[in-house]
C-alpha cells in the first residue's frame, strides 16, 4: 500500500491562511455586473405596471400614491420575495430601474426589505417645501 496522494496537499495547506472569509467584517466583492439590489426612479416611471405583470416571483405590487392632485400607481418591491432575475429591469419601457451590484442585505425588520414609493415622494415633498 502506497502513501495517500493527498498528503502533500494537506501539509501545504497547514501553513496557509484559511480560504473562507468571516463575513460580516470581511466582505466578498461581487463582480461589476452582479445582479444586486435595484431601485426604481419614480420620476421616470410611467405607471405602466409591466414589471408587476412580468415579475415571476410576484415581488412587485402597484400601490396608489397621491402626487399633487393626481392619484397614480407606482411599483413597490419586496426584496424578501425578489429572486433578482432582473426581468423588471429588462421589460421597463422607459428604463426607470437603477441597477447596482450590491448584495441584498439580510435584516430582521420588514421595513428594510421593502422599497416603496411612499418614502420617495415624502422626501420629495419635504425637500420642495423646505426650499
Partner 1 sequence: MVTANSDEKYVVEIPVGPQHPALHEPISLRLKVEGEQVVDAHVVSGYNHRGIEWLAERKTFYQDIFLVARTCGICNAVHGAAYVQAVEDLMGIEVPPRAKYLRVLVMELERIHSHMLVLAVLAEVLGFDTLFMLMMRDRERVMYLKELVTGNRVHADFMFIGGVRRDLPSDKKDKILKHINYIEERMKHYEKIWAEDPIILKRTQGVGVASRSQALLHSLVGPVVRGSGVRSDIRLIDPYDAYDEIPFNVVTRDEGDTWARMMVRIGEIYESINMVKYVLEHLPSGPIIPWKTIKAAPRRFPIGEGIGRVEAPRGELLYHVVSDGKPKPYRVKIRTPSLLNIHNGVFMMLDQYIADIPAIFASFDPCISCMERVIVVDNKNNRVLRIPWRKLADREYVEKIFR
Q: Which helix (H) or strand (E) holds 115?
A: strand 114-115
Q: How many CA atoms lie within 13 A of 42 on its CB side?
A: 22
* Binding of residue 60 to partner 1 (CB under 8 A): no
Binder of partner 1 out of 15, 17, 19, 127 (CB under 8 A): 19
* Binding of residue 35 to partner 1 (CB under 8 A): yes
Output phi, psi for 48, to 5 deg: -85, -15
- If DSSP codes are grouped into helix, strand and coil, which group holds residue 67? strand
Stretch that binds partner 1, among 37-45, 68-76, 81-89, 113-121 (CB under 8 A): 81-89
CA distance 7 to 113: 47
- Give 43's contacts (C-beta < 8 A, 6+ positions apart): none
| Smallest distance, partner 1 to C-beta of residue 34, A | 6
| Smallest distance, partner 1 to C-beta of residue 70, A | 27
Of 9 and 41, CB closest to partner 1: 9
* Binding of residue 86 to partner 1 (CB under 8 A): yes
| Smallest distance, partner 1 to C-beta of residue 53, A | 8
* Binding of residue 31 to partner 1 (CB under 8 A): yes
CA distance 44 to 95: 8
Stretch that binds partner 1, among 7-15, 59-67, 106-114, 122-130 (CB under 8 A): 7-15
Amino acid at each position: 500500500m502506497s502513501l495517500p496522494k493527498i498528503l502533500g496537499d494537506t501539509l501545504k495547506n497547514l501553513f496557509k491562511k484559511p480560504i473562507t472569509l468571516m463575513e460580516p467584517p470581511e466582505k466578498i466583492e461581487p463582480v461589476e455586473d452582479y445582479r444586486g439590489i435595484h431601485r426604481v426612479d419614480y420620476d421616470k416611471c410611467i405607471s405602466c405596471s409591466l414589471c408587476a405583470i412580468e415579475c415571476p416571483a410576484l415581488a412587485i405590487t402597484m400601490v396608489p400614491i397621491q402626487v399633487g392632485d393626481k392619484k397614480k400607481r407606482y411599483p413597490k418591491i419586496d426584496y424578501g420575495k425578489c429572486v433578482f432575475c432582473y426581468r423588471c429591469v429588462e421589460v421597463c419601457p422607459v428604463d426607470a430601474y437603477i441597477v447596482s451590484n450590491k448584495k441584498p442585505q439580510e435584516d430582521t425588520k420588514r421595513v428594510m426589505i421593502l422599497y416603496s414609493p411612499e418614502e420617495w415622494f415624502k422626501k420629495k415633498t419635504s425637500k420642495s417645501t423646505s426650499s
